């Protein structure tokens, strides 16, 4: 896997995660809206059924109160309830039974009115299933019977029907009460309330089941959302781990390898499974380390060879910088000076010359031609004694620094005798 593939994979996983989570959350949001709508329809439908049942009780109560008292207020309230139930007048606000009791007591009615609503028609539009619709028809048939008997009873109270105990045109409360408490009325009342009670129960169970299924769907949508989240989180974590395993950890290994090369450890190598680009860097760095290691071995061999040459050479060697300070001396030269163990670094090169004229000749040769050939000079030893030597010098580069390499051949030391024919200076 290369870096481009990893980035494309991460981008696709992120895009898929966003799309999947959006779809899951959108489905959950739609299901939640459906739950709210179902709850609203459930409340409204159950309220309609309860109002239909309550209106039947209110009509019975008003008809019986009128039959007992003959007070026309009860008849007016009866007609008002019928009109509201049939949708011809607005339904009273709040609790209807309380509203009618307030009106009976003569107190100011609650402010505001509801919308005109025919209860039976509203229940029909609620798209009830067949079983509930059958119960609604039974209740409406029984309520039609109750309405017919209640009208007969109120007519008897107004003398509009012949009664058994009152002359024509006179109120007949006995006949009215017989009708309202008769067997036919009680059976119709029982059928109406029983049908409405069963209707309310079935509606309760049905709407509760619909809500339960909607809640289960919502729970499944949420579960899908969480599964999508954790699934893509796991994929993202896997991608991150692959990035760490194939990217970051090999980069840290490369950093350590580079540090080892800087510190002179050319034997270090980096080998790890990584992204293709990082593996290319590893191979390049390992190749560079191999070349550096080979070059270091060659340098070591050359240094050992040079050291052997210098150790066996009868000539001494020293390196002098542009400030005329000694930067390096061979062991043979230190033997010439009488102290093979002392470090002569940073010692002024001028102190080696016993004759200032010979020092001037040496400097003049380097300055004019960049080299000195066969300059005979007197060199001062550490104990103050002197010996004659031949000096040869030229410039060399060492670590990007120009140094003067000075070869010293001693006469009169270690069996050497001075060359009488040597020239004083050759430039």
What would the pLDDT profile of 351-403 be if each residue is shown by its tens digit?
889 999 999 999 898 888 889 999 999 998 878 889 999 999 999 987 778 99
Give pLDDT, residue 425.
40
CA atoms within 13 A on the CB side of 249: 11
Helix (H) / strand (E) containing 387? strand 386-398
Kindly list the structural domains of the chain, giving each domain's residue range(s) and its CATH number in brackets, ordered by start.
3-228 (no CATH), 313-411 (3.30.450.20)
CB atoms within 10 A of CB 159: 15
What would the pLDDT profile of 79-104 be if each residue is shown by its tens digit?
988 888 888 877 776 655 677 777 77
Cβ 59 vs Cβ 78: under 8 Å:
yes
pTM above 0.85, yes or no: no
- State how far the Cα of 119 lies from the Cα of 87, in Å rounded to an integer: 7
Q: pLDDT-based confidence at 283, cuts 50/70/90?
A: confident
Mean pLDDT (whole number) for 294-313: 77
Give pLDDT, residue 112.
58
Percentages of the chain per state (helix, strand, coil), in multiples of 5: 65, 15, 25
Q: What is the largest CA-CA distance in the chain?
A: 184
From residue 159, alpha-carbon distances to 171, 188, 368 in Å are 5, 25, 156
pLDDT tops 60 at residue 418:
no
What would the pLDDT profile of 114-157 be if each residue is shown by its tens digit?
667 677 777 777 777 888 888 888 888 998 999 999 999 999 98
Cβ 261 vs Cβ 289: under 8 Å:
yes
- State how far the Cα of 245 lies from the Cα of 238, in Å rounded to an integer: 10
Mean pLDDT (whole number) for 27-52: 81
Q: pLDDT-based confidence at 29, cuts 50/70/90?
A: confident
Cβ 77 vs Cβ 214: under 8 Å:
no
CA angle 259, 265, 267 (to 5 degrees): 120
Give pLDDT, residue 111.
65
- State how far the Cα of 20 lies from the Cα of 7, in Å rounded to an integer: 20
pLDDT tops 50 at residue 420:
no
Cα torsion 336, 341, 346, 351: sign: negative
| DSSP annotation string for 219-244 | HHHHHHHHHHHHHHHHHHHHHHHHHI
What would the pLDDT profile of 399-416 be if each residue is shown by its tens digit?
778 999 999 999 876 444
- State how far the Cα of 59 lies from the Cα of 65, in Å rounded to an integer: 10
CB atoms within 10 A of CB 233: 12
What would the pLDDT profile of 207-227 be if each residue is shown by its tens digit?
888 888 888 888 887 888 788
Give pLDDT, residue 223.
82
Mean pLDDT (whole number) for 6-35: 78
pLDDT higher for 66 or 84?
Answer: 66
Give pLDDT, residue 343.
67
- State how far the Cα of 57 lies from the Cα of 193, in Å rounded to an integer: 9
pLDDT tops 50 at residue 423:
no
Q: Which residues contact 136 (CB under 8 A, 6 or more apart)?
A: 120, 123, 124, 128, 195, 199
Give pLDDT, residue 218.
80
- State how far the Cα of 50 lies from the Cα of 96, in Å rounded to an integer: 11
Highest-confidence segment of 105-109, 134-138, 190-194, 304-308: 190-194
DSSP 378: E
Q: pLDDT-based confidence at 427, cuts 50/70/90?
A: very low
- State how far the Cα of 277 lies from the Cα of 4, in Å rounded to an integer: 9
From residue 247, alpha-carbon distances to 111, 176, 261, 423 in Å are 75, 98, 21, 71
Give pLDDT, residue 84.
82
What would the pLDDT profile of 150-201 be if each residue is shown by its tens digit?
999 999 988 875 444 545 568 888 899 999 999 999 999 999 889 888 888 8
Strands across the sheet with 386-398, in order?
326-329, 316-320, 401-411, 386-398, 371-380
What would the pLDDT profile of 233-257 be if each residue is shown by its tens digit?
887 777 777 777 766 777 777 788 7
């Amino acid at each position: 896997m290369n870096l481009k593939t990893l980035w494309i994979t991460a981008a696709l996983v992120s895009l898929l995660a966003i799309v999947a989570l959006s779809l899951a959350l959108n489905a959950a949001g739609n299901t939640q809206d459906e739950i709210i709508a179902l709850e609203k329809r459930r409340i409204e439908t159950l309220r309609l059924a309860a109002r239909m049942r309550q209106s039947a009780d209110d009509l019975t109560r008003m008809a019986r109160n009128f039959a007992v008292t003959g007070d026309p207020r009860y008849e007016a309230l009866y007609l008002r309830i019928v009109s509201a139930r049939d949708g011809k007048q607005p339904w009273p606000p709040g609790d209807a039974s309380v509203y009618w009791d307030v009106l009976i007591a003569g107190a100011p009615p609650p402010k505001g009115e509801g919308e005109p609503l025919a209860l039976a028609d509203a229940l029909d539009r609620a798209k009830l299933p067949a079983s509930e619709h059958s119960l609604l028809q039974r209740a409406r048939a029984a309520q039609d019977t109750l309405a017919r008997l209640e009208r007969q009873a109120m007519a008897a109270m107004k003398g509009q029907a012949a009664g058994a105990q009152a002359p024509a045109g006179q109120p007949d409360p006995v006949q009215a009460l017989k009708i309202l408490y008769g067997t036919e009325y009680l059976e119709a009342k029982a059928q109406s309330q029983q049908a409405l009670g069963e209707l309310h129960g079935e509606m309760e169970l049905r709407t509760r089941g619909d809500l339960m299924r909607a809640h289960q769907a919502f729970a499944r949508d949420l579960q899908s959302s969480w599964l999508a989240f954790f699934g893509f989180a796991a994929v993202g974590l896997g991608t991150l781990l692959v990035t760490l395993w194939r990217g970051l950890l090999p980069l840290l290994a490369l950093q350590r390898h580079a540090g080892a090369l800087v510190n002179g450890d050319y034997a270090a190598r980096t080998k790890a499974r990584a992204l293709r680009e990082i593996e290319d860097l590893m191979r390049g760095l390992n190749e560079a380390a191999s070349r550096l290691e080979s070059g270091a071995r060659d340098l070591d061999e050359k240094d050992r060879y040079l050291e052997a040459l210098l150790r066996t050479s009868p000539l001494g060697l020293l390196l002098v910088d542009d400030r005329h300070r000694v930067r390096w001396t061979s062991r043979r030269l230190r033997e010439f000076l009488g102290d093979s163990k002392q470090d002569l670094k940073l010692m002024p090169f001028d102190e080696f010359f016993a004759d200032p004229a010979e020092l001037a000749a040496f400097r003049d040769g380097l300055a004019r031609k960049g080299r000195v050939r066969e300059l005979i000079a007197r060199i001062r030893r550490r104990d103050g004694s002197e010996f004659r030597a031949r000096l040869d010098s030229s410039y060399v580069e060492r670590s990007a620094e120009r140094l003067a390499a000075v070869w010293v051949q001693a006469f009169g030391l270690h069996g050497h005798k001075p060359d009488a024919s040597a020239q004083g200076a050759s430039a």
